[in-house]
Amino acid sequence: MHRGAYLVGVAGGSGSGKTTLVRALRESLPAGAVCQVSQDDYYHPKEAQQLDPNGKVNFDLPTAVDLDGLARDLRTLVSGGSIFKKEYTFNQEGKAAQLIELRPAPVILVEGLFVLHHEPIRELFDLRIFIDASEGAQLDRRLKRDSKERGYGAEDVLYQWEHHVLPAYRNYLLPYRHLCDLHVVNESSFERAIPVLRNHLVHTAGVLEALDVGRL
């Protein structure tokens, strides 16, 4: 397969800062340099999700996501094709899903819980990044995020954390941590990591040559 892009996988627990890191990295590079892909946009519909023993929907399982579809779309992007996807919104009541166009770019940043667990995706990456944060820091961020963005109460968040999120982190993320090329510690901030990652992409992925621009 012709490789027309540099593919970067960003993995980490819920609340570790995957989306924030990818967004900051994208914004540090020239317009058109990055295609940002979120595993979240590949969740199966809510009615197709598995229930736990207490009848609660468990989104924190690899089977909750169309990982084969994500792998297929990544191969399309790397080969120079565009992808159209509906964004993930079913955890945000009342929000209409928008149609997202993913266009090929010199750098493709892919973030998600299971992008290392799923071998057909994992083997596509030119660079694998693991975001490290303590379980306490991740839980604190999840409590704040789910209250603000999804309207969840603390009791619901803590239930999901204990029964879904932590088991997923320990079963489907940590076993692949040693396969990553870079580890970014995000206990309080990852600001010092952005210039390092940016310089790597500029020089290794050939961002400037691909975009045919001058100096950053």
The structure tokens listed for 178 are: 């040693």
pLDDT digits (tens, 9 = 90+) for 159-209: 999 999 999 999 999 999 999 999 999 998 899 999 999 999 988 877 766
Q: Structure pTM? A: 0.87
Q: What is the DSSP letter of 165?
A: I
The per-residue DSSP string of 196-211 comes to: HHHHHHHHHS-HHHHH
User: Rounded distance, CA 71 to CA 114, Å?
Assistant: 12
How far apart are the C-alpha atoms of 128 and 146, rounded to whole Å?
A: 27
Helices (H) and strands (E) in the chain, counts: 8, 7
Q: Percent of the chain at pLDDT above 90?
A: 73
**Residue 37: what are its φ and ψ, rounded to 5°?**
-120, 130
**Do 46 and 198 form a contact (C-beta atoms < 8 A)?**
no
Beta-bridge partner residues of 51: 57
138-to-62, 158, 187 alpha-carbon distances in Å:
20, 12, 9
* Residue 53, helix vs strand vs coil: coil
Which pair of tokens denotes residue 66? 């169309």
Read off the pLDDT of each residue in 21-36 and give the average, rounded to a whole number. 93
- Res 165: pLDDT: 95
The token pair that represents 84 in the structure block? 């159209």
Domain ranges of the chain: 6-211
Q: What is the pLDDT of residue 94?
A: 60
CATH 3.40.50.300 fits 6-211, yes or no: yes
Q: pLDDT tier at 152 (50, 70, 90 boundaries)? A: confident
Segment 116-125 shows an average pLDDT of 97
Lookup: tokens for 139: 């839980």
Q: What is the pLDDT of residues 74-102, one digit of tens each?
A: 999 999 999 998 877 665 556 677 888 99
Phi, psi values for residue 139, rounded to 5° = -65, -40
Q: What is the mean pLDDT of residues 93-120?
A: 89
pLDDT at 69: 97
